[in-house]
Amino acid sequence: MVYGNFRDGVKETAECNPAGQYGIMKYMGEKLVEDYANRDAFDYSIVRPSAVYGEYDVEDRVVSKFMLAAMRDQTITVRGANESLDFTHVDDVAQGIALAATMQEANGNIYNITRCASKQITLLDAAALCIKIAGKGKIDIQDKDPHFPSRGRLNIDKAKLELGYNPTVNIKEGFKRYHKWFRESAYWQTKL
């Protein structure tokens, strides 16, 4: 979100131009961390994940909204069918964070930590996959939210090269695991 509107392949050196409060707060958080580090308060690495989803996530994120709507046989509202995201399973993000936090080479660096799928995955693709996995649900396509930036896939070459980052959970496997977790979670039994 710190990049604002961007196309595929954006690197950590790209100019940040956050749009909206969420992106601005993320970018300002990075600037605060850098300022504290400049005052010799601590070492740091900054991680920029994208469209994180998976077990134990909150209900108010894109994949959880889509999956829960499908499982409840409700309508998934897709705002901008051709908008794409780097849907990244929490296990892959955790791997990237652990590497960035424990490797000396990461000190003072910024890393894009995403799945970076070889094929662009749109919001409509994600909604359709949730319906396929759940076996129910409908899709309502609406215009893109004009206040939300358009995003592509992030470039993760730096994290791969410097940290050995290697995302392994593809979207089909990740969505199936997420669906299974919802189905088997005692907490969600009364909410589905």
Assign residue 66 a region: left if phi > 0, alpha if psi is -120 to 50, beta otherwise? alpha
Tell me if 162 is assigned to some domain: yes
Tell me if 133 is assigned to some domain: yes
Tell me if 6 is assigned to some domain: no
pLDDT, residue 64, reads: 96
What residue type is 166 in one-letter code?
N
Tell me if 126 is assigned to some domain: yes
> Is residue 5 scored above 80 in pLDDT?
yes
Tell me if 103 is assigned to some domain: yes
> Is residue 132 scored above 80 in pLDDT?
yes
pTM to 2 decimal places? 0.93
Q: What is the CATH number of the domain that holds 129?
A: 3.40.50.720
For the segment 109-136, the average pLDDT, to the nearest whole number, is 93
Digit-coded pLDDT (tens) for 66-82: 999 999 999 999 999 99
Tell me if 122 is assigned to some domain: yes
Q: How many domains does the chain have?
A: 1
pLDDT, residue 167, reads: 96
Backbone angles phi, psi at 52, to 5 degrees: -75, 140
Tell me if 71 is assigned to some domain: yes
Q: What is the residue range of 131's domain? A: 20-189
